[in-house]
Amino acid sequence: MTAAPENKTTYVVPDSLFDPHRGRTYKRGRFFGKGGFARCYEIIDVHTDDVFACKIVSKKLMMKPRQEEETAEPEEIAVEISIHRGLNHRSIVKFFSCFDDIDNTYIVLELCRKRSMSELQRRRKIITEFECRYYITQIIEGVQYLHNNRIIHRDLKLANLFLNDMLHVKIGDFGLATRIEFEGDRRYSVCGSPNYIAPEILTKKGHSFEADIWSIGCVMYTLLAGRPPFHHKTREGIFSNIKKGQYSVPSWLTISAADMLVSMLQLDPERRPAIGQLLNCNFLKAAKVPQFLPSFCLTMAPRIG
């Protein structure tokens, strides 16, 4: 049993977990980190030795009154589970199971042993356009699957883009995702991560699929420039830059890379390409898209491409 003091709320995580839906028993392994109000541990099936990532959300934390930060209300965890459990795509983290005990909700997910693209970017600072074509193609394919199923992710950022041993991208964390019920349906709740949040979410004009296109633009910019496009030392400064659409395109980018970024970072959501159009942009069509990347690309640039 692990009790970790946290904001005066104790996280109680048993050493052993029983999943009644799959009839599996897991032993708790390493702590991988936190995300929002969730904590993530490695869990190992005691019979098969299969290893998973387990996202654990404390029921006590979920019952806390809303703070300024986005908080996970009980129904929101249920929404995350109801959306994620129905997904099946090679660029989406696999959802295996979820179960509860008196203290927590447990979500059993695909383990991505090379962590997230946040660590990749922190280690490499900037990646080559050759590598960017590899990652962005997989992200677009995953988001196209979501949009075709009328789901908006709403929190696409490097920390939610996980990498498996083959450096395949897996989109995770559906904690802010929402389902669009009908054509023209728009959402008004303010959500997302400060650096990558679309202007129409900030100004509460109503948002839809185009907000994910903006976030993909922020992800691609950060990978190629080494920092987010609207970065500022204060949160207010970030929001001000986003609302003004104020950013600079790095001088070292090719025209096709710059054009793709500019198309996604349009202030007016209507002017951004739909996800299906992105795969046909010149940046991905006019040059080789690698089918695989060697794992040393986590730490150094490949000479090829």
Ligand X SMILES: COc1cc(C(=O)NC2CCN(C)CC2)ccc1Nc1cc2c(cn1)c(C)nn2-c1cc(Cl)cc(CCC(N)=O)c1
Catalogue the active-site residues: 155
In the complex with ligand X, the residue whose CB is nearer, 107 or 140, is: 107
Nearest to 99 by CA among 54, 67, 65, 142: 54
Among 21, 22, 27, 34, binds ligand X (CB under 6 A): 34
Among 109, 197, 201, 218, binds ligand X (CB under 6 A): 109
Name the one range near ligand X by CB under 6 A: 11-19, 112-120, 149-157, 204-212.
Answer: 112-120
Residues pairing with 4 in the sheet = 11
DSSP 8-state code for residue 68: S
In the complex with ligand X, the residue whose CB is nearer, 93 or 225, is: 93
Tell me the C-alpha distance between 180 and 177, whole Å.
10
Tell me the C-alpha distance between 158 and 91, whole Å.
14
Among 116, 137, 193, 241, binds ligand X (CB under 6 A): 116
Window 137-176: contact mask with ligand X (x via CB under 6 A): ----------------------x--x---------x----
Give the helix ranges, DSSP H, for the chain: 59-62, 74-84, 117-124, 129-148, 199-202, 210-225, 235-244, 255-264, 275-278, 282-285
Does 305 bind ligand X (CB under 6 A)? Our answer is no
DSSP 8-state code for residue 162: E
- From residue 9, how far is each of 3, 37, 59, 80 by CA, in Å? 10, 11, 11, 23
Does 199 bind ligand X (CB under 6 A)? Our answer is no
As measured in angstroms, the least distance from the Cβ of 45 to ligand X is 16
In the complex with ligand X, the residue whose CB is nearer, 158 or 257, is: 158
Does 96 bind ligand X (CB under 6 A)? Our answer is no
Which of positions 13-32 make contact with ligand X (CB under 6 A)? 32
As measured in angstroms, the least distance from the Cβ of 198 to ligand X is 21
The token pair that represents 160 in the structure block: 């939610």
Residues in the interface with ligand X (CB under 6 A) total 18
The token pair that represents 239 in the structure block: 């929001």
Contacts of residue 95, Cβ cutoff 8 Å, sequence gap at least 6:
81, 84, 85, 87, 107, 108, 109, 110
Tell me the C-alpha distance between 115 and 113, whole Å.
5
As measured in angstroms, the least distance from the Cβ of 77 to ligand X is 12
As measured in angstroms, the least distance from the Cβ of 144 to ligand X is 20
Q: How many CA atoms lie within 13 A of 31 on its CB side?
A: 12
Tell me the C-alpha distance between 89 and 75, whole Å.
25
Among 21, 33, 73, 165, binds ligand X (CB under 6 A): 33
Nearest to 135 by CA among 121, 153, 146, 152: 121
In the complex with ligand X, the residue whose CB is nearer, 33 or 294, is: 33
In the complex with ligand X, the residue whose CB is nearer, 61 or 257, is: 61
Among 13, 17, 38, 238, binds ligand X (CB under 6 A): 38
Does 239 bind ligand X (CB under 6 A)? Our answer is no
In the complex with ligand X, the residue whose CB is nearer, 93 or 98, is: 93
Residues that bind ligand X (CB under 6 A): 32-35, 38, 40, 53, 55, 93, 109, 111-113, 115-116, 159, 162, 172
